[in-house]
Structure 1
Amino acid sequence: MINLSANTYAATSHSLHHEQFLLLQMKHNLVFSPHKSKKLVHWNQSVDCCQWNGIACSNSSIIGVDLSEEFITGGLDNSSLFNLQHLQNLNLAYNDFHSPIPSNFGLLKNMRYLNLSNAGFEGQIPIEIAHLTKLDTLDLSTSLASQHPLKLENPNMKMLMQNLTEITELYLDGVNVSAVGKEWLYALSSLPKLRVLSMSSCNLSGPIDSSISKLQSLSVIQLSMNNMSSPVPKSLENLSSLTTLQLSSCGLIGIFPSSIFQIQKLKVVDISDNQDLQGSLQNFPQDGYLQTLNLSYTNFSGLLPGAISKLKHLSMLDLSNCQFNGTLPISFSGLTELVHLDFSLNSFTGPLPSLNMSSKLIYLSLFRNNFTGPITSTHWEGLRNLTSINLGDNTFNGKVPSALFTLPSLQDLFLSHNDFDGVLEEFPLASYTTLQYVDLSNNKLQGSIPMSFFHLRSLEFLQLSSNQFNGTIRFDMFQRLQNLHTLGLSHNNLIVDTTFNGDQGLASFPSFSYLLLASCNLKKFPNFLRNQTHLTRLDLSNNQIQGVIPNWVWRFNILIALNLSNNFLTSVEGPFENLSSNLESVDLHSNELSGSIPIFTKSATQLDFSRNRFSLIPPNMKEYDKIKKYMNCI
């Protein structure tokens, strides 16, 4: 009697053994980095191939191969991979083949999932891909940084898609399709099961035809960075399964259909960077799932409706650079899932509702609006995850609450160009805060600069200019802030003491890029500047600095702007041979400089030497016409 089960086992065992041999042969021919590999490097015949990392088996056959991120650079042509006839899932994403897609992929007739994204493939997509009629997911997307992107020209999209009727997910981002709306949409009409359509940056052009709504299974539409130059079809409202709509940077025009916001399952809407696209926010479904709403750099306008509070899942709201106005509804405080909130560059008015219920908030920008009123410590209670706050260019007033400086995750705090006043209070545990950027400039802040600032060990940027701070600041205090690269103390009532005992400590000073000390009652050039090598902008204007401009000033070899105006300087000490080739602006006006006019015209393009005592006799007469363009020395 024949033992069928034994024979079946023997046959399947032999088949798997053969497939393992094919995989080892494939590995032998592939070019990859053994030091970086986490899968291929461990494949060997002493272990059952179904146990190898990246291999999936079913019924004693290899059905899945995942070699993503294996740093493979070649060896796929005529590979034994294409003899794995049971293969259903193949992932070669994020490698660096630098070759066309082999036509042999067409031999893998059972393929259901094929991911060749960002694998370094280039050139024309072969027509043999169209032979994979069982494909459910096809991902050929490439990054925008690719110098040699894939192309879908001949065959075109229609030829490639006409037999792939089982596809539910299609990713062609970055592939050069170069088709107008009717062509690529017509090609998609043969894909009735399509759920995900991702074709960002494919060189598509409009219009977005209303026929797209016939693909009733669509849940994800990602067509960003194409040149549609068309309105958004209202028929999209009929896609009841739609969860994601991404149409940023598409040159969209007309009025965005507000009915699209009513789609119950919608989670992501990103139509940003379409500056001719108009629209307004009116209503939202009661139990909507919207998580991301990005309308930035569009022409949306009007009020923010109280119905925004219906969006209980909203985590990212970006309305920056639009035309919104009016006050924020009180109900706005109920958006407890907010993580990212950007209302910058609008015309919102009135007070800021408390956000202390949005405990997940990380980023907040209200820059350049017309918000008014105080911001009290209660606004910030419980916001332990906030890393960035930008309230600049508004008309907020009152005291700056010290609670802002003690938010445990805060890195960036921008409050410039407001009407904040009063004294800044000291805040505890400053050395444990994470603050890196602090801008309080152009307010009405008074009193002494808190000593707490000199304990902010992570501080890189401190701008306190144009306030009413007073008292004496010893500059050696800044030695503690080794990460500080930008410092602005200009235009206060401060006396800045830059004297040191000899040269002790000068070498350990922070390396400044921007140093703004205008109107700081300086009597001479700060000696620590001799050791600065990274200065790009130096402003010592409106002080009482006397005598000679020392020649070491011209050794700042990456300097872009120098302002020494409104001092008592009498002469300029050269030579200028090492003057920064990046220098754009030199302002020496309103001093007592005399003698010959220094020649900066080879590098600087903005010069002001007016209101001095120069003789107007340049060393080289040919330079005279150039000098006249940049200054009036009389």
Structure 2
Amino acid sequence: MMSWKEDDDCCTWDGVTCDSVTGHVIGLDLSCSWLYGNIPSNTSLFLLPQLKTLNLSFNDFKLSKIFPDFGRISSLTHLNLSTSNFGGHIPFEISHLSKLVTLDISNYFGNDNFYVRIERPVFERLVQNLTVLIDLVLDGVDMSSIMPSSMKNLSSSLNYLSLWDCKLQGNFPTHVFRLPNLQVLLLGANANLTGNFPKVNWSMPLKILDVSDMSMSEQLPNSISNLLYLRELYLDSCTLQGSVPAILGNLTQLTSLRLSNNKFNGQIPSFLSNLANLQDLFLHKNNFTGQFPKFFSNLTQLQSLDLSSNQLTGSIPSFFSNLVNLHDLYLQNNSFIGQFPEFFSNLTQLQSLDLSSNQLTGPILDCFVNSSQLFHLHLSSNQLTGPIPSSLFQLVSLKDLDLSSNSLSGIIEFHMFSKLKNLRYLCLSQNKLSVTTTGFNVNSAFPQLEYFSLSDCNICEFPGFLRSLDHLYHLDLSENKIHGHIPNWMSEIGKDTLSLLNLSHNSLTGTIQLP
């Protein structure tokens, strides 16, 4: 810390808070301080008897253990050790901190490695002793030995409980849903956790509820309609089926509703028209049928809409032009028909658009001139015809572009892509295109490109810019007209990253030396 100088008053140091009367250090905020390595057991950190708040989050302690000495700081009310790469078991002594109001030991890194673990006796004593706890966050902590029934004794003061991706298993007690002050309950990504919603006496203050990936053995009870303050509801992958209960239409404060990857069927429920505050609606991977209901035009606050992987039919209606706040629109894997929609010119906030695997016909209209923020565009596996519109080559933010498996035609000269410096994924395969690299400056190549597929694009030579691609993991130039000897530099392409190389159905000689 730049301000920490031995001859200065420590109360003036960054991240240090002192009591204005006694001068004792009562708060240390060392989050995001580039701390790394092990915490020595004799550190003076454990000799601050008046310390109330300690924040060591977002550092890198190299899987060092959480010392039992933390339990000696008995005055602590707030302890945050999250996302700092601790390892090992949470010590029993943490349960001695009976004054804790906030405890965050989350260790979520988005992978399958669980570096921190809490054992059953420690958790049960923690639940028993921390009676004034308001916020408890253990995301990414291995809790596989914990009996969910032990959570019946959680503090009635709890306001925020997050146990996301903790390897919890067994039946989750309905008592927790009834905690009188609970506003946020996050239980997602615990695939072996089961449970039922209470049929009476829900926690009325609930604002955010996430039980995604839990197996809910019953349908949603009518009592869920009492959660009048609910803003976000996540029911993804909850083994729910049948019709979506109309009682959800009573939750008029909802801004996010996720019902994806269940077995809901029938038409998209009309009660959604009541949810005028919706910003995010995810209904993908269900069995919804029929056409777009007209009420969608009233959901003008929508920012993200995912209806992909259903059985929806008909054309994509023009009333989508009313949804000017849309950032993300996913309609892939349905049976939409008709001409390519014109309304995209109105959706100036679009960042992601996926219409792939439908039955859209006609040309891709030149309607992306106002889509300067678009970075994800997938139109593959339709029946689109005609040339690629010039507006696509002006989308400087574009990262993913997939136009494969259509009937697009015309000559594509690669210098047309020269503005797309951010491209990571480019797939033009299986069209009626002729692609040439003539006039394309190798130094203007795509520095970020990882996936590159030009199968069946009438290419006659290896694109020279390939030699400069350091991040490539997928290269498909099959079914073209490339002939002659394979150049030596092909052995250097993505030498540390390449996992797929397909040059089949060309007229090539020579070998490629693998690293």
Q: Aligned pair in 2 of structure 1 residues 146, 476: CA closer, same or farther (>3 Å)?
A: closer
Give the count of matched residue pairs: 497
Q: Aligned pair in 2 of structure 1 residues 508, 123: CA closer, same or farther (>3 Å)?
A: closer
Would you say the 8 A contact 2:169–2:190 is kept in 1?
yes
SS at match of 1:197: strand
Q: Deviations over 1:375-426 (max 9, x none)?
A: 2232242433x33322211112223323325522322211110111233322
Would you say the 8 A contact 1:394–1:417 is kept in 2?
yes
Cα deviation, residue 438, structure 1: 1.4
Q: In the alignment, residue 430 of structure 2 is paired with which amino acid?
A: H
Q: 1:68 maps to which residue? A: 30
Which whole-Å CA distance do the structure 2 matches of 1:547 and 1:49 have between them? 73
Q: 2:453 maps to which residue? A: 516
Q: In the alignment, residue 454 of structure 2 is paired with which amino acid?
A: L
Would you say the 8 A contact 1:416–1:439 is kept in 2?
yes
Structure 1: unaligned runs, 5 residues or longer = 1-31, 72-93, 582-634
Q: 1:20 maps to which residue? A: none
Would you say the 8 A contact 2:321–2:346 is kept in 1?
no
Q: Aligned pair in 2 of structure 1 residues 151, 108: CA closer, same or farther (>3 Å)?
A: same
Q: Aligned pair in 2 of structure 1 residues 402, 109: CA closer, same or farther (>3 Å)?
A: same
Cα deviation, residue 319, structure 1: 3.0
Would you say the 8 A contact 1:210–1:236 is kept in 2?
no
Would you say the 8 A contact 2:27–2:54 is kept in 1?
no
Q: 2:468 maps to which residue? A: 533
Which whole-Å CA distance do the structure 2 matches of 1:497 and 1:214 have between them? 64
Which whole-Å CA distance do the structure 1 matches of 2:5 and 2:328 have between them? 43
- Give the alignment's TM-score, normalised by structure 2: 0.81
Q: 2:71 maps to which residue? A: 129
Which whole-Å CA distance do the structure 2 matches of 1:301 and 1:113 have between them? 46
Cα deviation, residue 54, structure 1: 4.1
Cα deviation, residue 52, structure 1: 8.4
Which whole-Å CA distance do the structure 2 matches of 1:261 and 1:392 have between them? 40
Q: Aligned pair in 2 of structure 1 residues 194, 393: CA closer, same or farther (>3 Å)?
A: same
283, 286, 289: which is aligned to 1:349? 289
Alignment pair present for 1:379 and 2:320: yes
Q: 1:410 maps to which residue? A: 350
163, 176, 199: which is aligned to 1:236? 176
Q: In the alignment, residue 265 of structure 1 is paired with which amino acid?
A: P
Q: 2:104 maps to which residue? A: 171
Which whole-Å CA distance do the structure 1 matches of 2:141 and 2:445 have between them? 51
Alignment pair present for 1:573 and 2:514: no
Q: In the alignment, residue 392 of structure 2 is paired with which amino acid?
A: F
Q: Specify the structure having the higher radius of gyration (Cα).
A: 1
Q: 2:429 maps to which residue? A: 490
SS at match of 1:230: strand
SS at match of 1:189: helix
Q: Aligned pair in 2 of structure 1 residues 223, 550: CA closer, same or farther (>3 Å)?
A: closer
Cα deviation, residue 499, structure 1: 7.1
Q: Aligned pair in 2 of structure 1 residues 67, 509: CA closer, same or farther (>3 Å)?
A: closer
Q: 1:363 maps to which residue? A: 304
Cα deviation, residue 178, structure 1: 3.3
Which whole-Å CA distance do the structure 2 matches of 1:554 and 1:120 have between them? 39
Q: Aligned pair in 2 of structure 1 residues 168, 60: CA closer, same or farther (>3 Å)?
A: closer
Cα deviation, residue 264, structure 1: 1.5
Which whole-Å CA distance do the structure 2 matches of 1:125 and 1:452 have between them? 58
Q: Aligned pair in 2 of structure 1 residues 297, 563: CA closer, same or farther (>3 Å)?
A: same
Q: 2:110 maps to which residue? A: none
Identity %: 26
Alignment pair present for 1:399 and 2:336: no
SS at match of 1:299: coil
Would you say the 8 A contact 1:339–1:362 is kept in 2?
yes
Q: 1:557 maps to which residue? A: 493
Q: Deviations over 1:234-292 (max 9, x none)?
A: 22343222212222344544442253894311112222344x55443344335612222
SS at match of 1:285: helix
Q: 1:300 maps to which residue? A: 240
Which whole-Å CA distance do the structure 2 matches of 1:244 and 1:394 have between them? 34
Alignment pair present for 1:195 and 2:134: yes
- Give the alignment's TM-score, normalised by structure 1: 0.67
203, 206, 211: which is aligned to 1:263? 203
Q: Aligned pair in 2 of structure 1 residues 227, 262: CA closer, same or farther (>3 Å)?
A: same
Q: In the alignment, residue 498 of structure 1 is paired with which amino acid?
A: T
Q: Deviations over 1:65-86 (max 9, x none)?
A: 4442484xxxxxxxxxxxxxxx
Which whole-Å CA distance do the structure 1 matches of 2:105 and 2:483 have between them? 67
SS at match of 1:397: strand
Q: Aligned pair in 2 of structure 1 residues 419, 54: CA closer, same or farther (>3 Å)?
A: same
Q: Aligned pair in 2 of structure 1 residues 173, 579: CA closer, same or farther (>3 Å)?
A: same
252, 256, 270: which is aligned to 1:312? 252
366, 380, 400: which is aligned to 1:426? 366
Cα deviation, residue 540, structure 1: 4.2
277, 281, 286: which is aligned to 1:337? 277
Which whole-Å CA distance do the structure 1 matches of 2:200 and 2:51 have between them? 36
Q: Aligned pair in 2 of structure 1 residues 452, 206: CA closer, same or farther (>3 Å)?
A: same
Relative contact order: is structure 1 or structure 2 higher (C-alpha 8 Å, sep ≥ 6)?
2
Would you say the 8 A contact 2:151–2:176 is kept in 1?
no
Q: Greater CA deviation, 320-329 or 551-560?
A: 551-560
Which whole-Å CA distance do the structure 2 matches of 1:391 and 1:142 have between them? 37
Aligned pairs (5 A) from 1:139-150 = 139-143=79-83, 146-149=85-88
Would you say the 8 A contact 1:234–1:260 is kept in 2?
no
Structure 2: unaligned runs, 5 residues or longer = 108-114
Which whole-Å CA distance do the structure 2 matches of 1:358 and 1:42 have between them? 59
Which whole-Å CA distance do the structure 2 matches of 1:495 and 1:426 have between them? 18
Cα deviation, residue 355, structure 1: 4.2
